[in-house]
Structure 1
Amino acid sequence: MASDNGGGGQCGEPESSDSLKTFGAVLKALRDEAHLTQEQFAPRVQYSAAYIAKIEQGKRFPPRDLLDRSEEVLGPAAARVLAAAARSLTRKVGLASWFLQWAAIEEGTTSLYAYECRVIPGLLQPEPYIHALFERHLPPLTQDQFERQVAARLARQQLLIDRPNTSFSFVIEQALLERRLGGAQVTVALLDHLLLVGRYRNVEIQVMPLVQEDHAGFEGEMYLAETADHRWAGYVEGHGSSMLITDAEAASFMLQRYGKMRSQALSHQDTTSLLEQMRGER
C-alpha cells in the first residue's frame, strides 16, 4: 500500500481504520439524536453533505474546526462526546506498516526537511493531486483502499498546523510542476495549494530549477527529521521498499547534501514568484 508521499509499494498492509469508523458512527448517532439529516447538518457546520457522509463512513479524517462548529449545532453535551471520540483518532490510520516508524518520528520532530524528485511531497499534496496519484496506482486499488489512502494522506497534512514551532523545509524539482500530473485542473489546484501553504510561517518551499549544473541531489529523494533531543534521522523509499537511517554519520552526510541543495534551489521568495507566474499562465 502507499506511504505518505507517492503512490507507494506493497510492503505491508495499512493500519485499520476502526478509529475513524468509530468517530463517524458517534457523529452520526449525535446527528440523528438532534433529528438532523446529513443535508440539514452539513451547511450548519459549513461542509458539504457528501463530505459529512464520508466522515461518518470513516473515509475522511475530521477537520479540527468540525468539533467547534458541531457544538453550535448539536449542543455542549454532544460536543463533549464528539471530542472524546476524536481523542481516539490517529493520523497514522491507513499508512503502510513500513512507513509507520518514520511517521512516528515526524510526530515529534522539531525540524523536517524533504527533497523530492518523483512526486510532490505528501505533506504538500492537495486532494485533487492525491486522487490523481492513487488513480494511477498499479495494481489498481479497491475503492475502500483508495478512500483510506486519501484520508490518511490528508490527515498527515495536519502536522503543518498542529506543529507551528516545527520548521518544515521542502525542496522540489520544477519538473514536478511542469509535468502536469492529472491534467490542467489538478496542476492549478497544486499551484494554488503550494502558494497557500508557502505562506505558513513555519513552512519554506523552494523549487530546484530545471537547469542546475551543480545539482547535489543526484542520489535521489530524501527526508530528514531533527528529534526533540536534536538528533537527526533520515528516510528514503522507492518501489515498495524503505530505509530509516539513524546512524549519526550517515544522517550528517544527508544533511550536508540537503544544505547544499537549499543553496542551489530558488529562494522561498523567488519560488513564490515562479509559482505565481506558472499559475497565471494556466
Structure 2
Amino acid sequence: MVNADGNGERVPTALRVFGGQLKLFRELASMSREELGRQLGYASHTIKSYELAQRIPEPATVERADELLGAKGVLRAAIPLLEEVQYPKFFRDLPKLEKKCTKRYSYDPHCVPGLLQTEEYAIAVIGWYIPAFTEDEVARLVGARLDRQAMLTRDDRPAVHFVVEQAALERPMGGRKIHQGQIEKLLEWVQLRNVSIQVMPTNVAHPGLDGAMTLLDMPDQRTVVYVEGQAHGLLVSDREKVNRMTQRYGMIRTQALSLNESLQFIEELAGKA
C-alpha cells in the first residue's frame, strides 16, 4: 500500500533537518560526497539522497557518519526520529515488529507484496498514489520499502509465507518489462529456504474478502495481526480476534494452490509476462 506520512507532511521535518545537518558537517569536514560515501561503503548518489531527504540511512550508517564527520553526537541524536518517520505513521509498527518476529505470514490481494518487490515495480506501484508524490517522495518511500527486505536474509531470518492473489501477480504494474522483471524476481525469492509463496486462483471463493492481512509470531509466543485499508492500518493483539484471523488465514492457505503448483504457475507466468 502507498500513503503519505500520517501527520500530513509529505517530507517530515526531522528528515529535512537531518539531511541539512549531514551536509553541513560534511562540508565543515571538507569532505566530498564521494569521499564520505567511500568511507561509509556507499556511492555518492546515496549520500546525496540522504542530504536531500530522499532516503533514510540505517542507524549504523548514522553512527559511523557522526564519527567520521566529528559531529559529536548531533547526527546520532537523530536516529530515534529517523526511525519514526521512515514509514507512514499508521504503518510504523509493522516494520518494528518485522525486525523481531520469528514467523511472518501475509495475504496480499492487490499487488506483489512489498517485501518481494523490485525497485522498478515499487516505483510503479507508488507512482499510482493520488494525489501524486514528488520524485523525492517516491525515492524516499521506495527506499524504505526496499530496506524492509533485509528481514528476508538476516542471520536470524524468520520463516516468511505469502498467499498472493492470481490477479495481483498478473497485473502488469509499470508495463511488460517491469512486470517481467518482477515475476523473475519472485522466482529468485522462493529459492531462499525461509520464503514460500502460494497463489490464490481467481476462480476460488475464500474468506479473505475483507482485504490484506499480515500475521507475525513474536519471540514471546504472542501472535499479532496487522490489517490495512485506504490510508489507515490497525495492529490487532486481542487474543480472540487474533485467533479468528489465524483461523481465517489457515483456511486461505488450504484453498490456495500448493507450493509446487504455485511455483509452476509463477514459472509459466514468467514465460508469458
TM-score normalised by length of structure 1: 0.75
Distance in 1 (CA, whole Å) between partners of 2:12 and 2:57 is 16
In the alignment, does 2:83 pair up with 1:103?
A: no
Distance in 2 (CA, whole Å) between partners of 1:100 and 1:171 is 22
How far the C-alpha of 1:53 sits from its partner, in A, is 3.9
1:175–1:210: 8 Å Cα contact kept in structure 2? yes
- 2:2 match: secondary structure: coil
Identity %: 29
In the alignment, does 2:109 pair up with 1:117?
A: yes
- 1:162 match: secondary structure: coil
2:54–2:140: 8 Å Cα contact kept in structure 1? yes
How far the C-alpha of 1:229 sits from its partner, in A, is 1.0
What letter matches 1:54 in structure 2? S
Paired residues for 1:181-192 under 5 Å? 181-192=173-184
How far the C-alpha of 1:223 sits from its partner, in A, is 1.1
What letter matches 2:3 in structure 1? G
Distance in 2 (CA, whole Å) between partners of 1:278 and 1:32 is 53
What letter matches 2:146 in structure 1? L
CA RMSD of aligned residues (A): 3.8
In the alignment, does 2:138 pair up with 1:143?
A: no
2:165–2:200: 8 Å Cα contact kept in structure 1? yes
Q: 1:47 to 1:225 in 2, by over 3 A?
A: same
Match of 1:249 among 235, 240, 247: 240
2:121–2:173: 8 Å Cα contact kept in structure 1? yes
Gaps of 5+ in 1: 1-5, 72-76
2:111–2:171: 8 Å Cα contact kept in structure 1? no
Structure-2 residue corresponding to 1:3: none
Select between 246-255 and 13-22 the one with higher mean Cα deviation. 13-22
Structure-1 residue corresponding to 2:192: 200
1:143-197 per-residue CA deviation (whole Å, 9 max, x = no partner) reads 3322221221111222222264311111110101111122111211211221122
Select between 107-116 and 93-102 the one with higher mean Cα deviation. 93-102
Distance in 2 (CA, whole Å) between partners of 1:99 and 1:255 is 21
Structure-2 residue corresponding to 1:59: 54
Q: How many equivalent pairs are there?
A: 267
Distance in 1 (CA, whole Å) between partners of 2:15 and 2:5 is 23
TM-score normalised by length of structure 2: 0.78
Gaps of 5+ in 2: none
What letter matches 2:109 in structure 1? C
Q: 1:246 to 1:184 in 2, by over 3 A?
A: same
How far the C-alpha of 1:254 sits from its partner, in A, is 0.6
Distance in 2 (CA, whole Å) between partners of 1:126 and 1:112 is 20
